[in-house]
Amino acid sequence: MLGKKAGATAEEMSNAQGGRSDDPRTAAVLALATALIEHRGQISDADVQAARDAGLSQEEIVETVAHVALNVFTHYINVALDVPVDFTRVALTR
């Protein structure tokens, strides 16, 4: 729902769920975010260097980490407190 409101196409949203994008900078952010989740924050120097090599600034890397942390926090709150979902559920493709 949020992606649709932001103007993302169904294909872009599906690709983003799988950590993919045709835009190199977006792909770098998604790769970093995916690594953060898969490794529970313990990413390698190579993960950070790949983000830098793709043109992300230190601030953008920190912002990506912050967004991932905020989303994990939100997820934990929703699960722990059984917060009702007020929008249509979307099946994850990953």
pLDDT per position as a tens digit, 47-83: 999 999 999 999 999 999 999 999 999 999 999 999 9
pTM over 0.85: no
How does pLDDT run across 32-41, given as a tens digit for each residue?
A: 999 999 999 9
Tell me the H-state helices in the chain: 2-5, 10-17, 24-38, 45-53, 58-80
Structural tokens at position 84 = 């009702």
